[in-house]
Amino acid sequence: MIMQTCTCYSRSRRIGKVIVKDLIDAGVEVFALAKIQTNLDKLKSEIPSVNIIAVDLADWDATWNAVGKLGDFDILVNNAAFMDAKIADYAFIEIPKELLENSIDVILKSAFNRVVAHSMIQRSSGGALINLSRLTGVRSYKGLSSYCVSKAGMYMMKVMALQFGPHNIRVNTVSPTSVRSEFLEKVMNSPDLKKVCEESNLCKAILWV
């Protein structure tokens, strides 16, 4: 039996692409979700076996409808993220309301969308929900207030583990340090980033849980 995974393919395109590729190489049928169709089309051109669905993950109803039509899943990998290139320009008291709302909507609300877990419970099939957080959830970085707060909320997914455990659904949060990505290379400039987590290391952790 081929396991299926609904992968929330994020704005961090390179990380998402590597996750998709490694899952497919492991024998998993992957459905990749993202808001921007052109990003998905590029992913499809590079990894033809991936299934792509364009949907705004911050929109609960749209995500529920889109995923609900796809059938049953055994795994959810939630890599949804929002990182504006200007985020480091704002002090805490200057963060625009829209920036904070976008960060929370995409990172936290997508994690709380219960469509995949609901299907697992209905089928009594069990499964695995894997959320990606960051070290920024427990370690503060100047200029990344909204991102840090949103990622910190991912650690509260322990609540999901307590509630879904009796249904044989595993819930884990993978929390790497900074992961090499397009955004990181263009925007960040810190001694802390001399040694970063490579995408391949992150994928090994995801496959393990």
Is residue 44 one of the residues assigned to a domain?
yes
209 within domain boundaries: no
Measured over the CA atoms of residue 83, residue 45, residue 200 and residue 113, the dihedral's sign is: positive
Q: What are 6-30's pLDDT values in tens digits?
A: 665 555 467 788 889 888 998 889 9
Who has greater pLDDT, 146 or 124? 124
Span of 35-49, 153-167, 184-198 with lowest mean pLDDT: 184-198
What pLDDT is recorded for position 12?
A: 46
Q: What pLDDT is stored for residue 2 in this prediction?
A: 42
Only one residue has tokens 């996750």, namely 19
What is the model's pLDDT at position 1?
A: 35
Q: Please confirm, yes or no, whether 147 is among the known catalytic residues.
A: yes
Tell whether the model's pLDDT for residue 146 goes beyond 50. Answer: yes
Which pTM was predicted?
0.78
Q: Identify whether 190 is part of a domain.
A: yes
pLDDT at 200 over 60: yes
CA distance 209 to 132: 12
- Mean predicted confidence (pLDDT) in 83-98: 67
> What is the CATH classification number for the domain harbouring 109?
3.40.50.720
pLDDT value at residue 189: 56
Residue 73 resides in a domain: yes
Hey, which residues does 172 pair with through a beta bridge?
A: 130
The pLDDT value recorded for residue 50 is 92
For the segment 137-164, the average pLDDT, to the nearest whole number, is: 74
Q: Which run of H or of E encompasses 163?
A: helix 158-164
Average pLDDT, the chain: 77
Distance CA 187, CA 89 (A): 11
Question: HSE (CB half, 13 Å, CA atoms) of 145?
Answer: 13
Range of the domain at 175: 4-203
Does residue 117 form part of some domain?
Answer: yes
Catalytic residue among 9, 141, 147, 155: 147
Whether 128 is in a domain gets the answer: yes
The answer to whether residues 47 and 118 touch, using CB atoms and an 8 Å cutoff, is: no
Instruction: Summarize pLDDT for 18-68 with one digit per residue, the tens.
Output: 889 888 998 889 999 888 899 899 999 999 999 999 988 888 888 888 888
> Could you give the number of structural domains in the chain?
1
Domain for residue 208, yes or no?
A: no
- Tell whether the model's pLDDT for residue 69 goes beyond 90: no
39 by DSSP, 3-state: which? Answer: helix
CB atoms within 10 A of CB 77: 27
Q: Is residue 121 part of a domain?
A: yes
Give the percent of the chain with pLDDT over 90. Answer: 14
How far is 165 from 169, CA to CA, in rounded Å?
5
